């Protein structure tokens, strides 16, 4: 069976990547750009160079800086109104997963009929829409180069996972100089998000010859460089290596798929507005242990690239080592120890079971859980 590998038309990575992206933009028939971001990034001055570049190239722009973590359907509708009323014909997202996902959703509804809630699911987007540049300021989500967006539907209290290759930005940008001021806790959360992408992409049945090497390399780089970046955010080499790692993880999961960790992590994000990367990090070891009970051999390679010595271990022991190494990395970068520390209780976990079963990420898990097993996994992570 053939596999698909969907990527942006162009990707710029490294110092100066933003300049190169705007130079490419000047070759497009664009008149007015909607810049989608959040107020914090604006206040930190991270967008100043972008604004200067747009002004130098005589590109008119409108700023939409209302994006919040876990962007909502209401926010998308508000962004659409600004986009259409301002006569924009291009989008530039600046930020982590939230601004990029919000921009993806705005682009969808600007070029397709209906409301954003109509696009929940897989393959529902007909038109790709206007030219779109995604500038990443974190090293975690890979939203700048993937076909996924996650938008919270407040009415249903569910995170919609919109999956369609037409969402992939035209240009993806990873400039490590934009990441040096990222706070340690955000660096840790986004880095563990990238690790989750890579691990799930490696063990899913959808993994193939072009995703397995990229997933393993991402795991190796994150293990090596995430603690360095958390300890010293000004380390430009660590920032660049993590940016590369999350991009590789994105390449892997964008083709191979994700799994149960994401299906479970989406729920506390939707109902309690919690950081996605933190939820992933807490759930990842427990779900890995669950999957390893049936497929321990898939975790031997993960243990090895994380620095574990598996030479004298059988597959089960190697899988246990992989889980331990993931737990150790999470603790080393300061991830909370359990969901209860975030305000989650057993009743919350019980109420999420049906939503986990309906989440499109679940299909990529190598071991399909029962409702009872999902609840047990949640409770084990409290």
Is position 2 within any domain?
A: no
Q: What is the torsional sign of CA 14, 16, 22, 26? A: negative
User: 191 with 268, same domain?
Assistant: yes
The answer on 105 and 51 residing in a single domain is yes
41-59 burial code (b ≥16 CB/10 A, e <16): bbeeebbeebeebbeeeeb
Q: What is the mean pLDDT of the chain?
A: 95
Give the pLDDT confidence of 209-241 residue by residue, as tens digits.
999 999 999 999 999 999 999 999 999 999 999
Tell me: do 106 and 58 sit in the same domain.
yes
- 159 shares its domain with 214: no
Question: Both 118 and 216 in a single domain?
Answer: no
Q: Does 101 share its domain with 225?
A: no
- Final residue belonging to a domain, choices 178, 194, 213: 178
Among 160, 178, 196, identify where a domain stops.
Answer: 178
Task: Give residue 196's pLDDT.
Answer: 98
156 and 260 share a domain?
A: no
State the residue range of the domain holding 337: 184-380
The CATH number covering residue 141 comes to 3.40.50.1970
Residues in CB range of 41: below 8 A, 6 or more apart:
47, 65, 94, 95, 99, 137
Domain count, the chain: 2
pLDDT over 90 (residue 6): no
**Same domain membership, residue 109 and residue 23:** yes
Does residue 1 lie within any of the structural domains? no
**Cα–Cα nearest to 224, from 201, 258, 182, 191:** 191
Q: What's the pLDDT at 5?
A: 84
pLDDT tens readout for residues 346-371 = 999 999 999 999 999 999 999 999 99
Q: Of 178, 194, 227, at which residue does a domain stop?
A: 178
Residue with tokens 């899988």: 319
Q: How far apart are CA 264 and CA 260, in angstroms?
A: 6
Q: Are residues 50 and 161 in the same domain?
A: yes
Q: What is the pTM of this model?
A: 0.94
Residues 65 and 32 in one domain: yes
**Residues 316-321, mean pLDDT to the nearest whole number:** 97
Q: Is 60 a residue whose pLDDT tops 80?
A: yes
Structure tokens at 179: 């990441």
pLDDT value of position 1? 65
| CA–CA distance, 74 with 105 (Å, rounded to integer) | 11
Q: Are residues 217 and 359 in the same domain?
A: yes
Residue 110 included in any domain? yes
pLDDT at 2: 79
Same structural domain, 173 and 189 = no
């Amino acid at each position: 069976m053939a596999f698909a590998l969907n990527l942006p038309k162009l990707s710029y990575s490294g110092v100066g990547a933003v300049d190169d992206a705007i130079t490419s933009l000047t070759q497009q028939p664009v008149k007015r750009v909607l810049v989608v971001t959040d107020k914090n990034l604006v206040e930190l001055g991270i967008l100043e160079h972008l604004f200067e570049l747009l002004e130098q190239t005589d590109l008119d722009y409108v700023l939409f800086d209302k994006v919040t973590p876990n962007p909502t359907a209401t926010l998308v509708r508000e962004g659409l109104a600004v986009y259409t009323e301002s006569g924009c014909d291009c989008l530039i997202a600046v930020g982590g997963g939230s601004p990029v996902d919000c921009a993806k959703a705005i682009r969808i509804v600007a070029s397709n009929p209906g409301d954003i809630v109509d696009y929940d699911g897989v393959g529902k987007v007909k038109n790709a829409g206007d030219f779109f540049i995604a500038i990443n300021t974190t090293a975690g989500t890979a939203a700048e180069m993937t076909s996924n967006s996650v938008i919270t539907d407040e009415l249903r209290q569910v995170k919609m996972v919109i999956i369609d290759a037409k969402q992939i930005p035209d240009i993806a940008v990873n400039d490590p100089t934009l990441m040096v001021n990222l706070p340690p806790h955000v660096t840790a959360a986004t880095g563990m998000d990238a690790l989750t992408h890579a691990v799930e992409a490696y063990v899913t049945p959808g993994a193939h010859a072009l995703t397995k090497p990229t997933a393993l390399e991402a795991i190796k780089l994150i293990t090596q460089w995430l603690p360095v970046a958390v300890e010293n955010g000004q380390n430009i080499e660590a920032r660049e290596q993590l940016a590369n790692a999350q991009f590789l993880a994105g390449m892997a999961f964008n083709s191979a798929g994700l799994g149960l960790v994401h299906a479970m992590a989406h729920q506390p994000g939707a109902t309690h507005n919690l950081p996605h990367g933190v939820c992933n990090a807490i759930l990842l070891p427990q779900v890995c242990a669950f999957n390893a009970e049936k497929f321990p051999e898939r975790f031997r390679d993960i243990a090895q690239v994380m620095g574990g010595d598996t030479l004298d271990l059988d597959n089960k022991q190697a899988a246990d080592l992989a889980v331990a190494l993931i737990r150790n990395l999470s603790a080393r970068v300061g991830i909370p120890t359990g969901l209860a520390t975030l305000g989650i209780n057993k009743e919350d976990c019980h109420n999420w079971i049906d939503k986990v079963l309906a989440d499109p990420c679940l299909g990529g898990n190598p071991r399909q859980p029962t409702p009872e097993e999902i609840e047990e996994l949640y409770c084990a992570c409290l």
